[in-house]
Amino acid sequence: MISLIDLKRQYKSISQEIIESVKEVFESGQYILGPKVAEFEKKCAEYLNVKHTIGVGNGTDALVIALESLGIGKGDEVITTPFTFFATAEAIMRVGAKPVFVDIDPLSYNIDPEKIEEKISERTKAIIPVHIFGQVCDMKKIVQIAKKYNLYIIEDACQAFGAEFEGKKAGTIGDVGCFSFFPTKNLGGFGDGGLIVTDSDEIAERARMLRQHGSKKKYFNEMIGFNSRLDEVQAAILLVKLKYIDSWNRRRIKIAQKFSTELKLDGLVTPKKCNSFEFGHIYHLYVLQHEKRELIMEYLAQKGIATGIYYPVPLHLTKALSFLGYKEGDFEVAERLCKKSFAIPMFPELTDEEIEYITTSINQFGGNL
């Protein structure tokens, strides 16, 4: 069976480095906000070319703390996409604000900048663009809109560590960037983990306080915060993996290029790279579209090829957000994509033989149409 992502292969390739790094943590006796977290934050700041990096418990907490650090809360509105993981909207709701959805661009699958302005109201405080599947949003247009209306930008870059736009890394273009180190991410740990990045001293100070019970100094709490700190063991693992992120992302890009060139099934829509930057799309997932999605997925399962649906329901139609009053037909592009899209295996350790087998199998499905 070819998995959507095979984490065992990646571990095998760097296992000795991982073991040595984690062993240092065990022997140090410093398990919370120790030297590995400090070193990882420093190395990430250098890699991303950003002033501040704050390690937190997970990507969802990164979004919540980022929103709180900007003072966004009850009565405020935040514009975002309905085509993303639930955490994006969940974080907005967690701080008491209201998510306001904007449909997506049919080529990039990212929020459509041309539709943002019509959703801005006097209550709008921020935009959360999501760099979905590893492709960076059109940040030039989004930044222009944010400046025009004096709005914050919180980049949900949870699927886009290492992606870039006009010479800047994803997550460093807006006021705050948020990353997830969930194991299946391009840069993933062996458990949960997250990161907040910003060039603002003020935002960084608030984020650091919020991640640790609202305090700068232990037992001297200045605000109501969270217990959300990047684990020392995860930092040790991520430090090793950070060295390989560019080479792994280049391999993903090469695999995606092979898929896009060799897949010939009638009616199949392959993902489009909508910019010219080397790391403009780093293919966290490789998502296809077809009217007969379920039949193709069933066929591939018989061939020993795993598939997945990202996402089966757009956020505006989820039960948890039904009180917002959206209905089917409100965001046609996102809804159509949820009905037609499916992902095929994508991870750096995929072999050329496996890539050929996957593309041949999909192309052969044409005989069943």
Known catalytic residues are: 185
Q: Which of 176, 199, 185 is nearest to 65 (CA)?
A: 176
Contacts of 70 (CB under 8 A, 6+ apart): 125, 126, 152, 154, 175, 176, 203
CA distance 256 to 251: 9
CA distance 283 to 5: 12
Q: Is 368 helix (H, G, I), strand (E, B) or coil?
A: helix
Residue type, 270: T
- Residue 356 sits at φ, ψ, to 5 deg, of -65, -40
Cα torsion through 52, 163, 194, 69, rounded to 10: 50
Q: Which two tokens stand for residue 112?
A: 């459509």
**C-alpha 174: how far from chain center:** 15
Residue type, 59: G
N-to-C CA span, the chain: 24
